[in-house]
Structure 1
């Protein structure tokens, strides 16, 4: 197993053995690393056909669970991911999508709520995440709504210094501030956390944290996958 300390998330996901479990969810079959990697490659092609490449920012508005985890890994492997709290109001989505300079929004299939309304008003590409019925945890298809937002993007791979993730501060002292994290930042953080926690490929993490927050994305999801471990993603926690 090779640990990626300074590379890209796509390289980080090579740590898991092909048939090892990568993602899980209550009552559903596990998704293996080979299934996860194949799905990511196929979905990156969909994003490219929508004109989305490494420099483009894609907001992800999905409920917690394995589809959210897999969607984040898909976007961050070919563009810049910006996960947003699905409970935001339309006014809040308007602020965040404007501040992000988002080009597209990933939504759960059939979502016509505030995020969809805001994206339509702004003329952003909307791409539906359609869970695969009966499939393993995290399996889904991407279905763009309407015509592609632009010409097909080139197939350039993200590089370590490319921005991979955009998150906002809580805004407790002023308006929320945008924080960019590079591919290398994410890989280094995942490596440091997995080393500190002494995670191995035999470990299974139970994630109950929001996947629009850095702690859920890094301390649970990325750190476990960086060592070839498994993450079980719950719909939420009360």
Structure 2
């Protein structure tokens, strides 16, 4: 082996490093993932992060959209109002999202009455739950019990969209289960539920720091 061979190997390693840096991966938040439901009839935001100035290409329903990440690496694309349908796929650079529905998305929030799972009410509603709980066009995602007192969080880890199937239904909120099933039966429109509830939480915990400033006692608590 001679010095020229080592020189060539060194150049190859350098070029590979630059190539890898130039192909930084787009990252998506938890909500933008397989099985998600997009709101019908309204402009819909798709967002994420990448390297600053990186180009992001989105293909959805045979249409293409393009944007560039800002100086902080954040990007957002607004899709036009969509019609009810699915399942669809969405391509974001090299990421393929599958099983996407377009329907009505609801945010459900509150305390234990919203958090209480189907598994806790089976004694009272056993016949209905065991006989009628397979609705793959109903999707559910539950935010975990995580918090940060210093700043809003950009993402929520460790969760995913779940279809209302016999394998998943016991973990659904019971209130959400009966609501979503009834809504879908009447409308035949796909349903997406984002459940952000915490049992036993006081209403002050859901108000911003700025909103609580006129009430020092609750702010300090």
Flag whether TM exceeds 0.5 (same fold). no
Structure holding more strand per residue: 2
Give the TM-score taking structure 1 as reference length: 0.23
TM-score normalised according to structure 2 size: 0.25
Larger Rg: 2
